[in-house]
Amino acid sequence: MYFLKLVYFLSLVAVVALGGVGASDDCKDSHSPRCRKSSTEHQMHPRPNKPFVSRGIGNAQERTSDYWLNLGYNHVRDKVNKKLNTNKAKNIVFFIGDGMSIPTLFATRVALGGEEKQLSFEKFPYSGLAKTYCVDAQVADSACTGTAYMTGVKTNFMTLGVNGQVPLSDCKAANNPTTHTESILKWALDAGKSAGIVTTTTVTHASPGASYAHVADRMWEDDYQVRQSGCDPNETTDIARQLIHGAEGSLFKVILGGGRGHMRDAKFPDEEDGFGFRNDSRDLISEWLNDGKPNKRYVWNRNDLLNTPTNTDYLLGLFENSHMKFRQQTEEMNAQNSEPTLEEMTRSAINILKKNNKGFVLFVEGGLIDHGHHYTIPKAAVGETIEFHKAIQAARDILEEKDSLIVVSSDHSHTMSVSGYPTRGNDIFSKTDRTLGGVGLAGDGMPYMTLSYANGPIFSTQYSSTGRVNPDNSDFSRWNSFYPFLVPTTDLETHAGDDVGVFASGPHAHLFTGVMEQSHLPHLMAYAACIGHGPKSC
């Protein structure tokens, strides 16, 4: 039977490849080449057997030619009339949506109210794509990508702030300073600008860590993790220590995110719950506060952040022992006042950094988009993308386009896809409402979700060893509902290797177009701001 099905499939492929058969074949025989080709075409392009009831039909203008023609004409005029901004970039805000794939953008648009909606950064005048592979891996992690987009040098999987000569987890290889890469934040500091980092993950995580750390393993966030890897913390400096005492990190004027635990020894209690993660009797928060620099302030909750004194010159805000919570999680817990939003952290950072007349470079990461996808929880990933979109709008509102460059991108993608042929306006988090013949059922007689993943964690409620879980028997109403996937993994859902978007607004934003290496991004930003060691616009 399998052989016969294979022969039948190959015959269909052959017919399609040959472009059909002669006109004499009138399809009287259901097994004729013409009938087989017709059947294949219907399967590839299913026709609905009922009218769509959708948001698009509710807009009468979309049914007219004039609507779309005028929309296109206006777009052309906007492009033609857009004047190039070749000013020197005084300020740069570089946003990374961790794991923010192109399908994530689509799902977020629909969640915000419609397929036609635009996220704040999608309104930027210039856009392109970035290739995300590592030196030694087709599909990247956030350390090798962070090194690429922050320092302009691609490197090995899971290594951070070093070049490709450093093998993963080599205890001493990164001690060689010739392997170290310099970040755009260092270039800013060297030029007399201020620098800072904001993230919803730990401030020692891979993405922010790429701005200041040089390690052979991104997991070495504290001395305990270094020791667990079989290395000597006295010879291998962990990421938290590099942030607080390193050449770059110690000069940052703003550090906001999670990760108190990586700063303190296990004997020190946390402000909210638990203890530190370190094993060297150190309290790096106290060390940061007492390093002799004036006007320093440490905060650990939203209220203290929003009431930061105006004379603060250095701000360290750590709002969780580990990563910050998903925004939907804080809302469910009625704990919105315990943690600031990404927008609030971004505004606070800019308010401090803009005191420098020479300008600043600020890195902002929406880090929990990635976490939502890893757990195959797209509602969380989309929710965090909405928070990301708000933060970018805030930055653009605060800073003038004439002298402040804003660049938005992602480090890598994820395996989430948007599939089926759902009607316009269908809930993006619901079941696909039509497939072949207009019935929203798959070949196994069960419905399927519009959003699903190529792989996912075996502990998910969407995994069954006996076959696909029927979506009708699952609850997808919660923000943390697991979604279906194909291949079960013993860990979490993996990253994906497709290109990610790049969006730019401000001085020299027109350079951020086309398909580029991810490692080109900091060089373009440095050119616009006249910093670094490469070409400059002034």
Give the pLDDT confidence score for residue 336 in this predicted structure. 87
CA–CA dist 226, 452 (Å, integer): 36
Give the pLDDT confidence score for residue 30 in this predicted structure. 57
Dihedral of alpha carbons 139, 177, 203, 500, sign: negative
CA–CA dist 161, 148 (Å, integer): 9
What are the tens digits of pLDDT across the range 315-370? 999 999 999 999 999 999 998 888 999 999 999 999 999 999 999 999 999 999 99
Residue 57's Cβ-count burial label (10 Å; 0-12, 13-18, 19+) is: middle
Give the pLDDT confidence score for residue 39 in this predicted structure. 59
SS3 65: helix
pLDDT, tens digit only, all 538 positions of the chain: 444 344 334 444 443 443 443 444 455 555 666 666 555 656 666 665 555 555 555 577 898 999 999 999 999 999 999 999 999 999 999 999 999 999 999 999 999 999 999 999 999 999 999 999 999 999 999 999 999 999 999 999 999 999 999 999 999 999 999 999 999 999 999 999 999 999 999 999 999 999 999 999 999 999 999 999 999 999 999 999 999 999 999 999 999 999 999 999 999 999 998 999 999 999 999 999 999 999 999 999 999 999 999 999 999 999 999 999 999 999 999 988 889 999 999 999 999 999 999 999 999 999 999 999 999 999 999 999 999 999 999 999 999 999 999 999 999 999 999 999 898 989 999 999 876 555 668 888 899 999 999 999 999 999 999 999 999 999 999 999 999 999 999 999 999 999 999 999 999 999 999 999 999 999 999 999 999 999 999 9
Give the pLDDT confidence score for residue 263 in this predicted structure. 98
Q: How many CB atoms lie within 10 A of CB 322?
A: 17
Q: How many CB atoms lie within 10 A of CB 221?
A: 28
Question: How, if at all, do strands 500-505 and 126-131 pair?
Answer: antiparallel
Give the pLDDT confidence score for residue 492 in this predicted structure. 97
Radius of gyration of the chain (CA): 26
Give the pLDDT confidence score for residue 21 in this predicted structure. 39
What are the tens digits of pLDDT across the range 383-401? 999 999 999 999 999 999 9
Contact criterion met (CB below 8 Å) for 426 and 450: yes
Give the pLDDT confidence score for residue 337 in this predicted structure. 87
Contact criterion met (CB below 8 Å) for 368 and 384: yes
Strand partners, 515: 129
Give the pLDDT confidence score for residue 317 in this predicted structure. 98
Active site (catalytic) residues = 142
Q: Provide the residue count of the chain.
A: 538
Phi, psi of 509 (to 5 degrees): -65, -25
Question: How, if at all, do strands 404-409 and 91-97 pair?
Answer: parallel
Give the pLDDT confidence score for residue 1 in this predicted structure. 41
* 144, 180, 407, 465 from 151: Cα distances, Å: 10, 10, 15, 44
Give the pLDDT confidence score for residue 442 in this predicted structure. 86
Q: Which amino acid is at 45?
A: H
Contact criterion met (CB below 8 Å) for 262 and 207: no
CA–CA dist 373, 453 (Å, integer): 9
> What interhelical angle do 378-398 and 342-353 show, nearest 10?
30
Which residue is associated with the tokens 């469910």? 332
CA–CA dist 204, 262 (Å, integer): 8
List the end-to-end C-alpha distance of the chain, in Å, as a whole number.
71
Beta strands per DSSP E along 57-153: 91-97, 126-131
Question: How, if at all, do strands 404-409 and 500-505 pair?
Answer: antiparallel
User: What is the token pair recorded at 345?
Assistant: 């952290």
Phi, psi of 37 (to 5 degrees): -65, -40
SS3 408: strand
User: What is the token pair recorded at 438?
Assistant: 């207009």
